[in-house]
Amino acid sequence: MLKTDQTIAASPPPGAAADWTIPQKWEAYGASEHATWDKLFARQTAMLPGRVVPAFLEGVALAGLDRPGIPNFEELSERLMKATGWQVLAVPGLVPEDVFFDHLAHRRFVAGSFIRRPDQLDYLQEPDVFHDVFGHVPLLAHPIFADYMQAYGQGGLRALEKGAIDRLARLYWYTVEFGLIRDGDGCKLYGAGIVSSYGESIFALDDPSPNRIGFDLKRVMRTRYRIDDYQQNYFVIDSFDDLLRQTIETDFAPLYREIAEQPDYEPGEIAPGDVVLTPGTQAYARQKAGQ
Ligand code: PHE
Ligand code: FE
């Protein structure tokens, strides 16, 4: 889990390794915790077919997530390792950026091991095991997306040196967490923040409020985002190949310098040059803002 928050402690908490990982303690989950996972899993997998990119559902099966209960990270890692060389490791909560990027750069995805309370099925501030594993792991079984995540980690380490973390974090937000992907004339979901949320899985595709805009690297890196509610803009990639090509083959250093001189875009704004696939009414955001 990534959070660009400078209040995170600089050294790992007691009981955690130097790289911030902890044992998942899978045996310690109670029946009600497994039941919460099962409930969330059943609700998402009933709704997602036809909405999510097919590779996601293939990844669910490949990673063995379609068995009851909170996944055991060791078993999960064994399956993922065979597919794409990724592992899943537990961490106590948010980790510092350099630690997070270093794990990604080495094909290690760090996940929260706690699960939300039964009264928090629909909304949660901090990512739990359902978000981290159900949301992120299926696409880590996809070869191209797996490469993208590793490249992102390497790019993160470079961005830290260049003081450009805020810009790079926006790329993560609008792809890995809240990305949409083109499917013929329409779109499908792939972002982990969307697919692990019942409400946003419907909102992001069906609601008339948000703008759906063709993905553009510089544009995305200039766009602020909201962490407190559904997104006002979603960015639509053509394909995972195209996303990887655009990011891996571009040196971000000159982009960071160029963008530093330019103003940011607001979350619901349409920018000059945008390819707007579906213009939004922003009715939802306006209503929430009490206007
Ligand atoms: N090419 C980027 C850089 O020069 C690294 C990167 C790759 C970032 C893929 C994100 C995703 O920093
Ligand atoms: Fe996430």
Token code pair at residue 245: 């090509």
Closest C-alpha residue for ligand 1 atom 11: 152
| Whole-number pLDDT of residue 172 | 98
Low pLDDT (below 70) residues in the chain = 1-9, 291
Among 101, 248, 257, the mutation site with the greatest number of ligand 1 atoms within 8 A of its Cβ is 248
Torsion of CA 130, 133, 135, 137, to 10 degrees: -170
pLDDT computed for residue 3 by the predictor: 47
34 is catalytic: no
Q: Give the span between the Cα atoms of 41 and 37, in whole angstroms.
A: 6
- pLDDT tens digits, 141-182: 999 999 999 999 999 999 999 999 999 999 999 999 999 999
CA dist., res. 137 & res. 190, Å (int):
11
Domains of the chain, residue spans: 26-288
Report pLDDT for 191.
98
* Topology given in CATH for the domain delimited by 26-288: Phenylalanine Hydroxylase (1.10.800)
Residue 265 has what pLDDT?
Answer: 98
